[in-house]
Copies of this chain bind each other. A is one copy, B any other.
Amino acid sequence: MKRIAIDMDEVMADFNLKIIDLVNREYQGNVTLDEFNGKKLTQIRPHLNDQVREHIIASNFFRDLPVMKDSQQVIEELSRTYEIFITTAAMEFPSSFTAKYEWLKEHFGFLKDMNFVFCGDKSIIHADYLIDDNSRHFTRFQGQGLLFTSPHNIYETGCVRVNNWLEVRDYFLG
Residues of A at the B interface (CB closer than 8 Å) are 3, 5, 85, 87, 90-91, 94-95, 97-98, 101-102, 112-121, 123-127, 142
Contacts and interface: CB of A to CB of B under 8 A. Distances in A.
A120 B124 contact: no
A98 B91 CA distance: 10
Nearest to A85: B124
Identify the interface centre among A102, A121, A127: most chain B CB within 10 Å of its CB: A121
A113 B95 CA distance: 13
Contact of A124 (B91, B113, B123, B125): B125
A127 to B, nearest CB: 7
B114 A116 contact: no
Given A94-B98, A94-B101, A117 B124 contact: yes
A125 B101 CA distance: 19
A74 B117 CA distance: 26
A interface secondary structure, majority: mixed
Copies in the complex: 2
Contacts of A101: 91, 94, 97
A10 to B, nearest CB: 19
A95 B94 contact: no
- Counting from the closest, the 7 A-B pairs by CB-CB distance are A114-B120, A97-B97, A126-B126, A118-B118, A117-B119, A114-B121, A94-B101
B91 A116 contact: yes
Contacts of A142: 126
A88 to B, nearest CB: 10
Contact of A123 (B95, B120, B126): B126
